[in-house]
């Protein structure tokens, strides 16, 4: 673990948790169907919503409430999200999504890069998006994975 730059580790952990939340949401909302049951227009819309959720979650100007809204079980992560983003606030965190693969109508694999001050710090990270109640969200597992990189294991991540 790189003890010289804990902010990078925190950012990685957050990105991972976000991805897992999105995948879980997709599974729960759309059931056991595969992505081929979605029309091409539905797949395009899903990918756009996933990208928007990821970018919103990691954006420097996103409020805590909005981060919780795009994270699976976001209210369980209020404290770690608040702590992590407060520590990164001056570094203008952001994320870019390079690919999204729908694995079912309720889950997707996401490849993303986390940036601080517009410089990549974690590139080509793998995470998940989940579809829950008509919303594509960053998965809890993705965020927990990122938090684990920083040595943080919130209670909400204990069973993930």
Written as six digits, the tokens of 147 are 């938090």
Helix (H, G, I), strand (E, B) or coil at 76: helix
pLDDT at 93: 94
Q: Which domain holds residue 22?
A: 6-157
Domain-located, residue 42? yes
| CATH code at position 91 | 3.10.450
Q: What number of H helices and E strands is found in the chain?
A: 5, 4
Domain-located, residue 32? yes
Domain-located, residue 29? yes
Domain-located, residue 1? no
The answer to whether 57 and 81 have CB atoms below 8 angstroms apart is: no
Q: What average pLDDT is seen over the chain?
A: 83
pLDDT digits (tens, 9 = 90+) for 66-113: 999 999 999 999 999 988 888 887 899 999 999 999 999 999 999 999
pLDDT digits (tens, 9 = 90+) for 143-158: 999 998 888 788 889 8
Domain-located, residue 144? yes
Domain-located, residue 63? yes
Q: What's the number of domains the chain is made of? A: 1
């Amino acid at each position: 673990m790189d003890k010289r730059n804990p902010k990078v580790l925190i950012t990685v952990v957050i990105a991972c948790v976000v991805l897992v939340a999105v995948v879980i949401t997709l599974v729960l909302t759309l059931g056991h169907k595969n992505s081929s049951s979605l029309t091409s227009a539905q797949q395009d819309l899903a990918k756009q919503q996933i990208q928007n959720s990821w970018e919103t979650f990691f954006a420097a100007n996103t409020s805590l409430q909005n981060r919780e809204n795009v994270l699976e079980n976001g209210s369980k992560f209020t404290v770690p999200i608040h702590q992590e983003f407060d520590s990164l606030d001056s570094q203008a965190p952001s994320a870019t999504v390079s690919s999204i693969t729908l694995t079912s109508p309720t889950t997707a694999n996401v490849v993303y890069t986390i940036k601080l001050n517009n410089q990549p710090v974690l590139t080509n990270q793998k995470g998940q998006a989940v579809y829950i109640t008509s919303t594509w969200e960053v998965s809890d597992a993705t965020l927990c994975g990122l938090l684990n990189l920083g040595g943080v294991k919130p209670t909400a991540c204990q069973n993930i």
